Structure 1
Amino acid sequence: MKRFLLIIIALLVISLAYGQFEGFNLYFGNLHSHTSYSDGQETPEYAYDFAKAVPQMDFLAVTDHAHYFEQVLSDGRDKFEAMKKAARENSSGTFLSIAGFEWTATGWGHINVYEAPDWTDRNKSPNLDTFYSWIESKKVLAQFNHPITMFGIFDDFKYYPKADKYINLVEVGNGNWSLGDTISPEMFNAVRLALANGWHLGITVGQDNHKANWGAANDSRTAIYSPSLKLEDILNSLMKRRTYGTEDNDIIVEFSGNGKPLGSIVYDANSLNLHLKVKETEDDPIEKVVIYSKYGIYKSFDATSNIFEYSEEIPVESSYEFFFAYILEADGQEIVTTPIWVQSSSNKYLYNPSIYPANVKPGETVLAKFVVSNLNDSCECFTVYLKNTEGKLLASKELSVGPLSVEEVMLNFTVQSEKDNVVLFYLDEELAFRSGLTIRAGSSLNILLDKTHDNFSMNSREILKATINNAGHKIVEAERMLRPADFNNKDIFILPLPGTEGFFEKLKILQKPHQAIIKNFVANGGTLIVLGNGVPISQKIKDSYNDLLKVLELPITFREPVSSDVEEISGITFDGYRELVGAGSVYEGTYEKGRILIFAGDPFTDKVIEENKKLLDELLGIEKIVVPET
């Protein structure tokens, strides 16, 4: 759809005072820290008092690990109750102390809970299902912490609509090192996954202090727009996601849509009037601003000033959209805003579809996988339609989804032509998503490269892969174990003999079931290319590949290596070669409907492939060698 854009980028000093932010103050602080009540230092009283004196620290949440709360303090007091009491006694009109705890279940992930009437831990709530149910029953604010593989990313942020009401925050950055580089690519990408999966989350950055440096560890902060520092106002603002996460402790960011501040959900809008204003001190210029949507990068701007302004009227295409801003300063500090969501009031949504394989040619079947949700309070029946841009129906499925529930859906369809290169996903009549397919010419080739037998030089095939893909063909690697399904829709199978890589001889042997799979592939019209090499392999391994040649009724046999050096033989440059009894350096034959090529050496490693342009042209019709950038 053609977009009519109004883009204003103003690099001048301007007042940051949109109407939608009137009545709000901007506060900076830390929502993630620990004391000696778990595995940190000092007491909550000490932590709150320390943080009060740190510049740009308006609030601190102490969130000790809940599994430590079973132990009472040395004076007999309950840790959780003592922490809540300390928070109330250390708050003032200029500083807010927040009491919380961290549910710690590494593998699943870590989650903070704020101002709860009681607590639970990994022993009482051992998995996400039970903990989400606990949060829902208590109706308390919660935050996903440091979503990285080391700690857990919450079952890949599988969407739970009931928990989405209360888990309204997520850390995009975490750390208490002095450099302050707390926003990591892994956390940023995990947050994008959570948003794509349906979660509505306010963006935060936490210091996760375990030393006595609450707020002083670095400049990383969570910024909150709130009417005041009163506890009820701050909790309400956090519930409504009026936040941004920042490595800079004084940057002012205003992000809004259709007159509503960041964190808002705009319903049934035909367009979104998106506004972003950023203001920094004069000695701290902005370098880049990126606007993200559910599809990825929507717009990117270079900047050189300490002030940035952007405004655009964006047509709303689908029933579920969101936009957020990423800001990079010249000194490397990063800032990420909470999104603005635009949604249909139908409360029926489709999230983050994938189509596999995404690179196909007409006649091949693909699988579309996605999740649909029903956020209504009653069961809903609706139909999912997959169409191309001309309205042709590709697949459909009728669904009945319970209240506040999700359902995973899988649909197969066969690609008919190049017109199917964009797939439109509909829920009833509402467009939910558009996803692209790469559709190659019908004459293009699907090539399978074996990587299941510790094959020779497998980490040195990048030029081969780039060259094949650039020519309009498709090459994929068979990994772990060779299976019949790997050969579906394949035209060519490249089988390099094993090399010196790997440790287990058994993995290098071409087992009889694998020989049978390859035989069947060739018999049905596939092309087999076997590559020799010049490195020693055991007799048992060598015999297994010669057994394949016998199964294919070929009058040739691999013997011992002749040379491991680069050698040119009969116009082909090999990266080492071995004796091929019954042939010279190349044997070409057939078996039933298929074609077979056996090479004494390997002409397709990165070391020699550029010398074999003529061979690639003869075999695959490839005229250009492509060397990928390193």
Structure 2
Amino acid sequence: MKKFLLFLLFIVISLLIFSFPSDLILLFGNPHSHTAFSDGEPGTTPSDAYKHARDLANLDFIAVTDHAYYFEADYKGRDKFEVMKEMAKQETTEKFSAIAGFEWTAGVGHINVFEASKWTSRNVKTTIEEFYDWLINEKVIAQFNHPISMFGTFKDFEYYPEVDNYINMIEVGNGSWSKNDTINEEMFSNYIIALKKGWHVGATVGQDNHIANWGTGNDSRTAVWVKEKSKNGILEGFKNKKTYGTEDKNVKLWIETDHVSMGDIYYYDSVPEKIQLKVYYNDPDNEKIKTLSIYTPNNVYKYNNLNNNYEHVFEIPVDSTYSFVFVRIDQYDGNSIVSSPIWYEPKDGIRLFEKPKAKMYSNSENNLNFYIYNIYDTNSKANIKIYVDDELSFNDALELSSYEKKMVNAIIKTHNTKSANIKIYINNILWKHYDINLEEKIKVGIINVNPGFLKGKYILSNDISKEINALIIPSSILREKYEEIIELSKKMKVGIVIDEINDQLISIIPNKFEITKEEINNVELNKLYYNKCYKVLYKGKERGFIINKNVIIFPGNPFVSKNNEPFIRRLLNLK
């Protein structure tokens, strides 16, 4: 009797400890598969895949996502996607959901779309921007597929705020081979990159079946927590990112905090210092945890050798203004499970996801350019302040329209130091805080030419020497120092401003160009503006510069007009 009571007590304690959500149902399935409606098993139809997944694999759901460009050919005189949707409806039961989808495939990447009213393909929407516009218009649920270099990574996960509403999932694993090693390290790494770039996507694993093994190819599954066991319930679970990708076909995983649960976004007034992350794990097959890893934007926390029934509360620092946290579990049998994230973000609509990258120089004015995003469908204001070594160096106020992406062109002043501490505030929230190594100013040799916008940004020298990084001279200097300048041009960019036409100048101009003695004023030629210059012709048309190897010849002084600066810097390699 005592043993029985102890056993009963153990059961009660276990039930109290492992608190998976009581209002949600856990389903297992496959969101990525193919039939002969595209390049799958010859002779098969979506109906065959649905039946196989339901009756042999015992899945709770499967999505057939044939390549859409195959839909341009009819099936028995009918649109393939319409036939697929009919088959999905016929094979759906109270216990099984058959989902109709398609895969848009292009060189930039492949994307699954679920239960849309119509289909499109790479032959119709040829660029990812066109396809994204289609997604926004159709307002459907979509998924980034197998994000690896072989298939494409969506322009390095370039972020589009409005599209983020509709691409809700990403594969961290893909494949239907019998070896159950589908969670690919490149895909997993790109999952983290997508999150850092701003995408709100939940983790999935797709079998991507191209033979008749829908759900039976291996044990890899996508798990989804749903409010009701129905197709609509599953799609709602996809949309809300209540998913995890798993190589274990029946493992249970759930994460939550005091504020929100897996797949949710918590919008804060001020950045919390830390969160209490609750992790619930249960494997009916008694497989223990080899390593539990908790990922944030800047850190990974690892815990080893944990039980097959596991609940724990972890205190995790919030290490980024735009922050996320998710869990990866690696079992002793080699299987892995990856959860969807929980996000912590500011309440206002402005986001700065990536740290600005720039080469910067000491004791100089430096360009610091970066993108900010408005994630809201209404206008949002961005008050931007940039501090250099705790001194305010840039202050501007911008307004972004609905879902707008805007470049911030900041000019910041550095001190005569080897490094600088940069702080970027947006709407009084510290978004980026980092140190950057400063290089010495570029040394430019400039003789008898008005330096214009070069003054103050570079070390300007009147001497011609090997210590300079670039040389700028008038053409009249060529008469005396032609050999020396040609020799220097083998090692650096040389800009020659025409102040006179002489034999030495003519000798370095390619034959197809002609320098006339006619002077012209206030002209824009080949992206460069000149107050006054000589007329230079190429095949009868006016030109704004001539390039001959490392020598760039300007018909007039391009340094006077500040509008010329970006292009001149590229021409003379003044980075």
* TM-score using structure 1 length: 0.64
Q: How does 1:21-170 map to 2 (within 5 A)?
A: 21-41=21-41, 42-55=44-57, 57-73=59-75, 75-105=76-106, 107-170=107-170
Distance in 1, Cα, partners of 2:243 & 2:16: 16
Identify the range of structure 1 (230-239 vs 178-187) with the bigger mean alpha-carbon deviation.
Answer: 178-187
Distance in 2, Cα, partners of 1:191 & 1:155: 14
SS at match of 1:353: coil
SS at match of 1:237: helix
Distance in 2, Cα, partners of 1:66 & 1:52: 24
Aligned-residue offset at 1:71: 1.0
Query: 2:68 corresponds to which letter in structure 1?
Result: A
Whether the aligned pair in 1 keeps the contact of 2:390 and 2:421 (CA below 8 Å) is no
- In structure 2, what is the equivalent of residue 590 of structure 1? none
- In structure 1, what is the equivalent of residue 353 of structure 2? 351
- In structure 1, what is the equivalent of residue 189 of structure 2? 189
Distance in 2, Cα, partners of 1:193 & 1:213: 31
- In structure 2, what is the equivalent of residue 588 of structure 1? none
Query: 1:293 corresponds to which letter in structure 2?
Result: T
SS at match of 2:192: helix
| 1:425-476 deviation per Cα after TM superposition (whole angstroms, max 9, x unaligned) | 2112012233344679x9xxx9xxxxxxxxxxxxxxxxxxxxxxxxxxxxxx
- In structure 2, what is the equivalent of residue 516 of structure 1? 491
Distance in 1, Cα, partners of 2:328 & 2:468: 40
Whether the aligned pair in 2 keeps the contact of 1:176 and 1:208 (CA below 8 Å) is yes
CA distance 1:84–1:384, change in 2 (3 Å): same
Aligned-residue offset at 1:516: 3.1
Whether the aligned pair in 1 keeps the contact of 2:259 and 2:266 (CA below 8 Å) is no
SS at match of 2:355: strand
Q: Are residue 177 (structure 1) and residue 177 (structure 2) matched? A: yes
- In structure 2, what is the equivalent of residue 392 of structure 1? 391
Q: How does 1:194-593 map to 2 (within 5 A)?
A: 194-268=194-268, 270=272, 271-281=274-284, 283-295=286-298, 297-314=299-316, 316=318, 319-357=321-359, 363=363, 368-387=368-387, 391-411=390-410, 413=412, 415-416=414-415, 422-437=421-436, 515-517=490-492
Distance in 2, Cα, partners of 1:486 & 1:154: 42
Distance in 2, Cα, partners of 1:115 & 1:121: 15
CA distance 1:111–1:246, change in 2 (3 Å): same
Count of residues in correspondence between the two structures: 440
SS at match of 1:267: strand
SS at match of 1:177: coil
Whether the aligned pair in 2 keeps the contact of 1:351 and 1:370 (CA below 8 Å) is no
Aligned-residue offset at 1:350: 1.0
Identify the range of structure 1 (422-431 vs 77-86) with the bigger mean alpha-carbon deviation.
Answer: 422-431
Question: Mind listing any 5+ residue stretches in structure 1 that lack a counterpart?
Answer: 1-12, 447-483, 489-510, 521-630
Query: 1:274 corresponds to which letter in structure 2?
Result: L
Query: 2:203 corresponds to which letter in structure 1?
Result: I
Distance in 2, Cα, partners of 1:325 & 1:417: 44
Query: 1:287 corresponds to which letter in structure 2?
Result: K
Distance in 2, Cα, partners of 1:487 & 1:290: 48
Aligned-residue offset at 1:320: 2.0
SS at match of 1:331: coil
Distance in 2, Cα, partners of 1:328 & 1:410: 44
Distance in 2, Cα, partners of 1:391 & 1:310: 40
Whether the aligned pair in 2 keeps the contact of 1:20 and 1:260 (CA below 8 Å) is no
Distance in 2, Cα, partners of 1:348 & 1:419: 32
Query: 1:306 corresponds to which letter in structure 2?
Result: N
Aligned-residue offset at 1:252: 1.1
Query: 1:515 corresponds to which letter in structure 2?
Result: K
CA distance 1:300–1:259, change in 2 (3 Å): same
CA distance 1:417–1:513, change in 2 (3 Å): closer
| 1:9-66 deviation per Cα after TM superposition (whole angstroms, max 9, x unaligned) | xxxx944877682210111110000000000011111111111134562110000011
| 1:215-240 deviation per Cα after TM superposition (whole angstroms, max 9, x unaligned) | 11111111100022211111111111
SS at match of 1:351: coil
Query: 1:243 corresponds to which letter in structure 2?
Result: T
Whether the aligned pair in 2 keeps the contact of 1:21 and 1:261 (CA below 8 Å) is no
Superposition CA RMSD, Å = 3.2
Aligned-residue offset at 1:416: 3.6
SS at match of 1:86: helix
| 1:57-114 deviation per Cα after TM superposition (whole angstroms, max 9, x unaligned) | 21100000111111112x3232111110111111112211110001111x22111110
Query: 2:295 corresponds to which letter in structure 1?
Result: Y
Query: 2:348 corresponds to which letter in structure 1?
Result: S
Whether the aligned pair in 2 keeps the contact of 1:172 and 1:245 (CA below 8 Å) is yes
Whether the aligned pair in 1 keeps the contact of 2:295 and 2:327 (CA below 8 Å) is yes
| 1:139-163 deviation per Cα after TM superposition (whole angstroms, max 9, x unaligned) | 1111111111121111111111111
Identity within the alignment, % = 37
Aligned-residue offset at 1:312: 3.2
SS at match of 2:83: helix
Whether the aligned pair in 2 keeps the contact of 1:16 and 1:277 (CA below 8 Å) is no
CA distance 1:147–1:21, change in 2 (3 Å): same
Distance in 2, Cα, partners of 1:407 & 1:201: 23
